[in-house]
Structure 1
Amino acid sequence: MTPDELRNACLAFAGAGEEFPFDEANSVFKVRGKIFAISRLSGVPLRVSLKCDPELAVQLRSTFPAITPGYHLNKRHWNTVVLDGSVPEHLVREMIEDSYDLVVAGLPKREQVKLHWVGLSRGE
């Protein structure tokens, strides 16, 4: 996954936007003001931090060495993924979607309706 593909994957969701609250090098992807992905798109190797269900986070970390506890984030709820090709791209895309869904699930119902969100894609 290239930096442009990562950016496009994060921005593909309703209401998603890219901001730079920390510095101009770190892209922060938000929905309704809440973070669901963080990446230094110019980083080598490319990495992305994503929100994750705590039980799934542990499973993913034990399966893929490129998935580690979130860097400078709550280690229980965030994973950092090194996009070096060792994690299948479809799984990275699912993780981005899951992160978005977890954030939107925590928004008020009226905000979910505005986003035309139909619920968690897996497990609801």
Structure 2
Amino acid sequence: MSLRGTREVRDNYQLFRLTGLLDAFSEPTFRKVIGAKIEDGPKNIILDLSQIDFVDSSGLGALVQLAKQSQTAEGTFQIVTNARVTQTVKLVRLEKFLALQTSVEAALENLKSA
């Protein structure tokens, strides 16, 4: 099973809900599609990875690259996570940089206070 997802666009943010695997196989398409959507706007991105089964190093690299792209575009980049994704991100000490959130609601609250 590869990566699948949906996109919701609101006034000031985009919400991507993803399922499957964020790995070396899915990473190039993931990075290209999300990167293009950051350029299109809105610039504030919420990635809901709570239903993701696995993230490998190439997936983490794509997340870092997209977070930097969003920041360069003067937007925000937040990741809604699950225990597996959180563990992988914390293993490489990127939890602060990748702005991990426990729920979509928490990410939206964080966006309002920004």
Same fold (TM over 0.5): no
Q: TM-score when scaled to structure 1?
A: 0.28
**Greater percentage in strand:** 2
Bigger Rg over Cα: 1
